[in-house]
Amino acid sequence: MAVETTPARIGKSVVIRGEVKGSEDLIVDGRVEGTVSLSESRLTIGANANVAADLTAKDVLVLGQVQGNIVASGRVELRAGCVVAGDIRALRLSVEDNAVFRGKVDLTQAAAKSPDSAGATHAGGAA
């Protein structure tokens, strides 16, 4: 894993309708309709992108327009100038000034993977 790879890219003139799945980082600058699933990778929605899809990834960075739900096992970042209409479920959420968001947010810890941590305090955390 010492080799750094360049993320895959969907260019701004590309239109995809259907399901996009992968196991590498992806940058979307075009139009995607349907679903995007990158369970262990980072998904970047570029400033030129227009996405009407449900998004699932480890981390999601939004610079453009998204209409659909976002589920991340890590962090979701909404950057200035982006427009998101849909619900967000993630461990962490970052929203910059001038980002537009319409929907619900669910910030869950550990996603019920360890039932014994359900009673842990909010400020807890080893490491």
Residues 72-82 have a mean pLDDT of 96
Q: Note the pLDDT of residue 71.
A: 96
Residue 81 host element (H or E): none
The pTM of the full predicted model, rounded to 2 decimals, is: 0.81
Q: Note the pLDDT of residue 114.
A: 36
Ramachandran sector of residue 122 (left: φ over 0; alpha: ψ -120 to 50; beta: rest): alpha
DSSP 8-class letter at 110: G
12-55 pLDDT per residue, tens: 999 999 999 999 999 999 999 999 999 899 999 999 999 999 99
What confidence tier does 5 reach under pLDDT thresholds 50, 70, 90?
confident
Q: Could you state, in order of their start, the residue ranges of all structural domains in the chain?
A: 11-100
How far is Cα 60 from Cα 63, in angstroms, rounded to an integer? 10
Burial class for 64, CB neighbours closer than 10 Å (0-12, 13-18, 19+): buried
How far is Cα 49 from Cα 64, in angstroms, rounded to an integer? 5
What confidence tier does 116 reach under pLDDT thresholds 50, 70, 90?
very low
Q: Note the pLDDT of residue 109.
A: 65
How far is Cα 64 from Cα 30, in angstroms, rounded to an integer? 10
